[in-house]
Structure 1
Amino acid sequence: MAGMPFSTIATRTAGLALVLALWVPGLSAQTTFKLAKNKYTPQQDVELGREAAAEARQQYPVITDERITRYLTAIGDRLVEAAPASLKDPVYEYSFTPVNLKEINAFALPGGPMFVNRGMFDAAASEGEVAGVMAHELAHVLLRHGTANATRAQNPWLQLGQMAGAIGGAVVGGAAGSAIATSSQFGLGTLLLKYSRDFEKQADLLGAQIMARAGYDPRALARMFETIAREAGASGGPQWLSSHPDPGNRTQYITREAELLTVATPADERGFPTAKAAFASLPAPRSMAETAKARSTEGRGTRTSVGTPGLPVPPPSSQYRTIAGGGVFEVDVPTNWTVLTSSTSVKVVPENGYGELRGESVFSHGVEFGIARATTRDLQRATDEWLNAVARQNPELRAAGPQRVVRLSNRTAISTPLVNPSPLGGQERVSVFTTFLSDGTLFYYLTIAPDRDADALDEAFRRIGASIHLTEAR
């Protein structure tokens, strides 16, 4: 790219931090737990979990039968009440949502939201077995394993659209978008990353302790894991095991832990048969694959297009709404533009600004937000390194003027004007704004429009850029 001192891009490895050791009091068991390294605060856990839960409720067939929701919530509340006070941050927002999916699965998100599949109830022989899995998931929340996973992944980008799956394949006027994605070197699936075996064992043992306090025999958790293992042998593995690997010897160490615990006043489990009957009265559960297919057929879930590229793009609305890029940024966007989240970026596009055209997915109008790891704290050099990675893959991408030092979210930033062939014909204008996050990661805001529409979108692009607020939860 003419006039720009580009060099190669590389990744940066962050240093390690000390872990904080915590004793879980009030139990006769001698197991202790450590909170793993975590860049996030409990309040940020809540915010991230709230966003992810909203996405999950859109993607999954949530059960609204009051008999079931009351029953599940009663179990969840009992377990939360029994959890160690030292780990229950008052900001947490617990919720317990049943979903009509046949897989044996449950998961909890940072800050408290929990989802339990119907398949878990169908496979359980007692309330204690369901409560055991819920206690295990609650332990992941209390030990903050979700955001610890994100921290381990060295990934500050947590816009939580990952549960919808990656959109993938979007390009900026051809191939530039995929090059941007490649050079950014980040993904979004951190909150539901596969837990380590160490995290799993911690959740097993803390879950057993919570069960005992709540009046359940912890050995019921071991029995449920045996059921899950049998299902794995029969069908290639329940979904639960994909993110919750077996640490090995689960039955033995849970049983040993149970022997050290005193079970409180036994929980009243008489509602379990009634809950089973309520599930049986519902429509047959779908598999995750069937649900994903239905979402695609019904036009819900991951968007593969916003209108039809090549048709006129309507003017941006004069009304704006605020969206959040996980814990990294907030920004105001026109209310008639659509937010698209993928494994590599967050895009906000007008009608007819994104979709399939002549066999490829094109991004012709709108804005994009992303990050790139930097090898230097020099903003000019880091920007040029990143642009160099884009330019190597896009020989027709050209500078359209000099770079300028500007302000973005009250920080020093660099503005780079570019031009590129538009997939709609003629040229398109691409403007990239780059600045550092506090840890040295490069944040970018990108605008794109064909020459013929650029002036009409200029004010919207300016207003969006001026509203960016970097919040940087890590």
Structure 2
Amino acid sequence: MQHWLKCTTVVTTLAIAACSASPTGRNQLLLFSDQDMSSLGAQSFEQMKTDQKVSTNAKTNAYVQCVTNAITEHVPPQPGFSKWEVVVFDSKQVNAFALPGGKIGVYTGLLDVAVNQDQLATVIGHEIAHVLADHSNERLSQSQIANAGLQITNIALGTSEYAQYRGATMAALGLGVQYGVLMPYGRTQESEADIVGLELMAKSGFDPRQSVDLWKNMAKASGGQQPPELLSTHPSHSTRIQDLQAKINTLPSYNVSSPNCG
């Protein structure tokens, strides 16, 4: 109950403002229902499958699905949806995402940098953590409070304005780089997703030490120029590696067999 006392009561166009806590105990204000967020995520995902080329490579799809399944098996049932859906997009983007409603997208360009299953699990675990921590809901709610999110609120509630404001909607869900609108997750949310995702991938049998190697690969991939899309709003490489290493040192030993995804 203590986190409720720390939240500020806000009057918005919605009847009820829900004060909650993230998986790490951080205070959050979530104005939208799980059903609303799942609906918005599913609608946006269907649009992406129309707009972008979907990979038909059977081996690549099986590999990404195997890593994802190994992680989602350790995720408790989620309100608002019952099944995770994974799509591999045929693109050079070094990126991945997860949307409310259990929608996961992985770009083939990521597989050139995440060079083994443990490194891919680091990214997928991180993106799933965004969903588990309600980061999209939190960001939409913050926009609403700032009187900048009224149009997005209407979209989230299922009105016909989705097509008109598609770019803003995609950005609010973490897809701004692809759609030319930037509404990034905050550094706090990114760091939280790192920690929650690391715990999740380790619990699923993947090697958490590979997370450090992944971000070293990401740093090399940037080549001193524009970083990969996945890093565009994230903490610096050195900060992230230090934080991950510190977390790795505190992880318990999970009695789980390592997945064999190839």
In the alignment, does 2:71 pair up with 1:79?
Answer: yes
TM-score, length of structure 2 as denominator length: 0.77
Distance in 2, Cα, partners of 1:151 & 1:19: 11
Q: Does residue 266 in structure 1 map to residue 257 in structure 2?
A: yes
Aligned residue in 1 for 2:139: 149
* Residue in structure 2 matched with residue 314 of structure 1 by the alignment: none
Instruction: Find the partner of 2:48 among 51, 56, 62.
Output: 56
Query: 1:190 pairs with 168, 172, 181, which one?
Result: 172
**2:60 aligned to 40, 53, 68, which one?**
68
Whether contact under 8 Å (1:35, 1:143) holds in the other structure is no
Correspondence list, 1:440-459, <5 A: none
Report sequence identity in percent: 26
1:459 aligned residue: none
Structure 1 90/251 Cα, relative in aligned 2: closer, same or farther at 3 Å? same
Q: Mark the CA change 1:164 to 1:21 in structure 2 (over 3 Å): closer, same or farther.
A: closer
Q: Aligned Cα RMSD in Å?
A: 2.6
TM-score, structure 1 as length reference = 0.44
Closer/same/farther in 2, CA of residues 245 and 114 from structure 1, 3 Å limit = farther
1:195·1:245 contact (CA, 8 Å) conserved in 2?
A: no
Give distance in 1, aligned partners of 2:55 and 2:205: 27
Cα distance in 2 for partners of 1:238, 1:15 equals: 39
Q: Deviations over 1:426-447 (max 9, x none)?
A: xxxxxxxxxxxxxxxxxxxxxx
**Corresponding residue for 2:211?**
221
Q: Deviations over 1:400-441 (max 9, x none)?
A: xxxxxxxxxxxxxxxxxxxxxxxxxxxxxxxxxxxxxxxxxx
The question of 1:88 aligning with 2:78 is answered yes
Q: How far apart, in 2, do the equivalents of 1:102 and 1:45 lie?
A: 28
Q: Which residue of 2 aligns with 1:20?
A: 20
The residue aligned with 1:203 is: 193
Q: Aligned in 2, Cα 1:35/1:246: closer, same or farther, shift over 3 Å?
A: farther
Q: 1:105, 1:117 within 8 Å by CA — same for their partners in 2?
A: yes
Following superposition, the deviation at residue 260 of structure 1 comes to 1.7
Aligned to 1:36: 28
Deviation at 1:162? 7.7
Work out the number of aligned pairs and report it. Answer: 227
Note the C-alpha offset of 1:140.
0.3
Q: Contact between 1:105 and 1:240, CA under 8 Å: does it hold in 2? A: yes
SS of 2:232's partner is helix
State whether residues 63 and 100 of structure 1, in contact with CA within 8 Å, keep that contact through their aligned partners in structure 2.
yes
CA gap of 1:247–1:224, structure 2 versus 1, over 3 A, is: closer
* Change beyond 3 A, Cα 1:162–1:226: farther
1:46–1:92 contact (8 Å) kept in structure 2: no
5+ residue gaps, structure 2, are: 1-9, 156-160, 175-182
Deviations 1:449-474 (A, max 9, x none): xxxxxxxxxxxxxxxxxxxxxxxxxx
User: Structure 1 pair 102/35, CA: closer, same or farther in 2 (3 Å)?
Assistant: farther
The answer to whether the 8 A contact 1:216-1:263 is kept is: no
CA contact (8 A) 2:99 2:131 kept: yes
Decide whether the 8 Å contact of 2:96 with 2:230 is kept in 1: yes
| Structure 1 residue matching 2:35: 3-state secondary structure | helix
CA distance in 2, matches of 1:108, 1:39: 20
User: Per-residue deviation at 1:203?
Assistant: 0.3
Shift of 1:67: 2.7
- Amino acid paired to 2:246: R
Q: Counterpart of 2:97 in 1: which secondary structure?
A: strand
1:224 CA displacement: 1.4
- State which structure, 1 or 2, has the greater radius of gyration over its C-alpha atoms: 1
Instruction: Specify every segment of 5 or more residues in structure 1 that has no aligned partner in the other structure, as ranges.
Output: 1-13, 25-31, 166-186, 273-474
DSSP 3-state at the match of 2:115: coil
* Deviations 1:362-387, CA, capped at 9 Å, x for gaps: xxxxxxxxxxxxxxxxxxxxxxxxxx
> When you count strand as a share of all residues, which structure comes out higher?
1
SS in 1 for 2:91: coil
Given residue 207 of structure 1, which amino acid in structure 2 is its aligned partner? Answer: G
- C-alpha distance in 1 between matches for 2:59 and 2:230: 25
Structure 1, residues 176-229: CA drift from partner, whole Å, max 9, x if none?
A: xxxxxxxxxxx5432223000000011000001101110012222222122222
Query: Does the 8 Å contact 2:215/2:237 carry over to 1?
Result: no
Deviation at 1:59, TM superposition (A): 1.2
Q: How far apart are 1:245 and its partner, in Å? A: 4.6
User: Which whole-Å deviations, capped at 9, do the CAs of 1:296-333 have from their partners, x for residues lacking one?
Assistant: xxxxxxxxxxxxxxxxxxxxxxxxxxxxxxxxxxxxxx
Counterpart residue type for residue 136 of structure 2: G
